[in-house]
Amino acid sequence: MSQPYTFETQLLHNKYKVDPATGGVSVPIQHASTYHQPSIDHFGKYDYSRSLNPTREALEDIIAELEGGVRGFAFSSGMAAISTAFMLLSQGDHVVITEDVYGGTYRMVTQVLNRFGIEHTFVDMTDLDAVEQAVRPNTALLYAETPSNPLLKITDIRALSSIAKKHGAYTFVDNTFMTPYLQRPLDLGADIVLHSATKFLSGHSDTVAGLAVVKDEQLANRLYSLQNSFGAVLGVQDAWLVMRGIKTLSVRMNQSQDSARKIAQFLKGQPLIKNVFYPGLASHSQSDLQSQQAGGPGAVLSFEFGNEGLLPGFIDSVKLPVFAVSLGAVESILSYPAKMSHAAMPPEERKLRGIGDGLLRLSVGLENADDLISDFQQALYGLETAAAYREGLS
């Protein structure tokens, strides 16, 4: 029996490698919204593109294979995927959720689900005892981001899934930062894995997309019914862009991750930087756990200025990263969680979670790491020089 292909080869070689009708080496973009049916008694596989479309189906099959699930689902955004998965819950259910979760997920849980009688408890999921204590008789879901956004905390997926199963609850894992190249939550016991495919999977800042992969056929059927009911499906052009991005996922992740390691080490030695959050650093309290459950620390890190007043000057001085919302692209993206990814989280809640006003998140792209370090170095040196000058005047 032949050995299965490595992940890198699977990115390129799957059942959609060649179009059987033409031999084309790119999945055809099928724009049709509706499909002719043979007769009143015999309908074809496709009837209406909200329910199923050949181009979207190709992406859904590809991500299911890469994540090791039974079925994949493509949505119009990462939040559409997350929100639809949350709709598997019912009134009276309770969710235990990562405390420093993405701001959009925080908003969904605190401003939408609560209106439908779905309760929630935020916990530090690095503390499994705290997770266990947060579980109630009506807990239906444990929801994790690992690494978390933006503090890069690591949740033990296998242990979390075990707690969930003991209490008859589901485990959902947002795998956006890692992608299936570095981490496969379904293999570790999770029930649904979620992605903002806008990020590393597509990788080029040119599409908005969300993906979900389900481990169990029965649960997959339920999620399909919700996808079809809500209709927040991914358009065919965007599905094609995500598939194109997936082909280069491994080479992009490798280079970005290697650069992130170097940049994190550089920042850790800078006197103006109080904290660096990156699971690739030996000083990270969950670095061993990350290495056990994932193939690497990823390409996202956060760092915090000791004096938050220096942050605007740093942003004005750096030249290479774009200062923008989002992450996971070929270009490095520097973002400010307090006013970007976590703007939906009230200031007092951010403070409780350690998301300070001096915190920046960096998604490392494909630039040369030494160029990025030099850019950061000149910006930090400028701030140090200005501070020394002001001190001299005083």
Query: Active-site positions?
Result: 50, 102, 174, 199
Say which residue the tokens 């060649």 belong to: 18
Alpha-carbon distance of 194 to 186, in angstroms, equals 11
SS3 135: coil
Q: For 215-233, b where at least 16 C-beta lie within 10 A, e where not — what string? A: bbeebbeebbebbeeeebb
Decide if 55 contacts 29 (C-beta within 8 A): yes
Alpha-carbon distance of 308 to 323, in angstroms, equals 17
CB atoms within 10 A of CB 37: 12
Tokens of 380: 């930090």
Decide if 75 contacts 86 (C-beta within 8 A): no
Which of 172, 203, 194 is closest to 75 using CA atoms? Answer: 194
Q: In this structure, is the dihedral angle defined by the CA atoms of residues 68, 73, 77 and 78, taken in order, positive or negative?
A: negative
Phi and psi at residue 80, to the nearest 5°: -65, -40
Alpha-carbon distance of 306 to 312, in angstroms, equals 13
